[in-house]
Amino acid sequence: MPDTPKPVTTLDLLRMKERRERIVMLTCYDALFARLLDATVDILLVGDSVNQVLAAQDTTLSATLEQMIYHTRMVRRGASHALVVCDLPFLTYQVSPTEALKNAGRVMQETGCQGVKLEGGRTMAPTVRALVEIGIPVMGHLGLTPQSVNALGGYRVQGRDDVAIQRLKDDAAALEEAGAFAIVLELLPTPVAAAISESLSVPTIGIGAGPACDGQVLVLHDMLGLNDRFSAKFVKKYASLADDVRKAAEAYAAEVRSGRYPDPDHSFAK
């Protein structure tokens, strides 16, 4: 058997940026997919997008801490190589640094993940610093921040004017200074994401932010073509598994209804 790759650490990610090696991140919500992806990706993000992908909610806002802990625990059981990061859901870290410490600490303790992700810039920097100071690695998230979708006026590209661009740069600098080990940049024009990435010593992970980021992330079910009701300009589908699932189910149903399944090869004589 080939040697199992050594676990990825936050320090490894910093070194990857220094060497200009691209970082690969995918969302993941269960142990089975974690096991399938583990040797290939650098980071598995247990995103609060689970609330939309698996729970059919319109936004991430109703995701709960218990929901995130449950899914992160499953992913951690399937991963031995990839760094597992858990999204902190809405209102589990915005109220106060003290509340964030309690909730993020619970996530780390109950799941075994190696970091948490939260949204926001300068206003969240004191919270990031407080978490990092007690040993909780934090990934930031700027640009289109899904937990603020109502305030942002929907899912649309951010950083379109000079004021917004400068704000994003200041936010990124504040997160880095506070100790974030990486920052997700979502739905930003390519030149803006490139400028932010170049200005930071910590890696950026892009989603709809162009090729200049230090890494990329997609929602797994979008990338696999399982979520065929969702499409976006930045999503590239590397498979069409929704069609495969339907075809397999139709073949199974036809064989059950015709009596062809189970056949002798799939039955026990004694």
Same domain (yes/no): 184, 96: yes
The answer to whether residue 27 sits within a structural domain is yes
Q: Is residue 183 a contact partner of residue 142, using CB atoms and an 8 Å limit?
A: yes
Same domain (yes/no): 247, 235: no
Same domain (yes/no): 42, 130: yes
**Number of domains present in the structure of the chain:** 2
The answer to whether residue 96 sits within a structural domain is yes
Same domain (yes/no): 34, 15: yes
Looking at residue 230, its pLDDT comes to 86
Q: How far apart are CA 181 and CA 187, in angstroms?
A: 20
The answer to whether residue 1 sits within a structural domain is no
Same domain (yes/no): 231, 255: no
Q: What is the pLDDT of residues 199-241, one digit of tens each?
A: 999 999 999 999 999 999 999 999 999 998 888 999 999 999 9
Same domain (yes/no): 261, 185: no
Residues 6+ apart with CB under 8 A from 178: 125, 126, 128, 129, 132, 138
Q: Which two tokens stand for residue 97?
A: 């640094």
Q: How far is CA 20 from CA 10, 158, 179, 204, in A?
A: 15, 26, 21, 12
DSSP state of 7: P
Q: What is the pLDDT of residues 169-195, one digit of tens each?
A: 999 999 999 999 999 999 999 999 999
Q: Is residue 185 a contact partner of residue 193, using CB atoms and an 8 Å limit?
A: yes
What type of residue sits at position 2?
A: P
Looking at residue 228, its pLDDT comes to 87
Same domain (yes/no): 169, 260: no
Q: What is the pLDDT of residues 33-68, one digit of tens each?
A: 999 999 999 999 999 999 999 999 999 999 999 999
The answer to whether residue 17 sits within a structural domain is yes
Is a pLDDT exceeding 70 seen at residue 89? yes
Same domain (yes/no): 83, 148: yes
Reported as type and span, the H/E element at residue 215 is: strand 215-218
The answer to whether residue 248 sits within a structural domain is yes
Is a pLDDT exceeding 50 seen at residue 1? no
The answer to whether residue 5 sits within a structural domain is no
186 is catalytic: yes
| Phi–psi pair at 87, nearest 5 degrees | -70, 130
Q: What percent of the chain has pLDDT over 90?
A: 96
Among candidate residues 110, 133, 186, 250, the one labeled active-site is 186
Same domain (yes/no): 263, 218: no
Q: What is the pLDDT of residues 105-158, one digit of tens each?
A: 999 999 999 999 999 999 999 999 999 999 999 999 999 999 999 999 999 999
Same domain (yes/no): 150, 264: no
Residues 6+ apart with CB under 8 A from 34: 28, 44, 74, 75, 76, 77, 78, 79, 82, 84
Domain that holds residue 251: 241-270
Looking at residue 4, its pLDDT comes to 62
Residues 6+ apart with CB under 8 A from 28: 34, 37, 44, 45, 46, 75, 78, 79, 220
Domain containing residue 63: CATH number:
3.20.20.60
3-state secondary structure of 84: strand
Residues 6+ apart with CB under 8 A from 158: 143, 144, 152, 164, 168, 186, 187, 188
Same domain (yes/no): 96, 217: yes
Mean pLDDT along residues 245-264: 97
Q: How far apart are CA 203 and CA 254, in angstroms?
A: 50
Looking at residue 174, its pLDDT comes to 98
Strand partners, 141: 120, 184
Q: How far apart are CA 265 and CA 261, in angstroms?
A: 9
Same domain (yes/no): 138, 215: yes
Mean pLDDT along residues 10-17: 98
Instruction: Kindly report the average pLDDT of the chain as a whole number.
Output: 96
The answer to whether residue 4 sits within a structural domain is no
The answer to whether residue 3 sits within a structural domain is no
Looking at residue 3, its pLDDT comes to 61
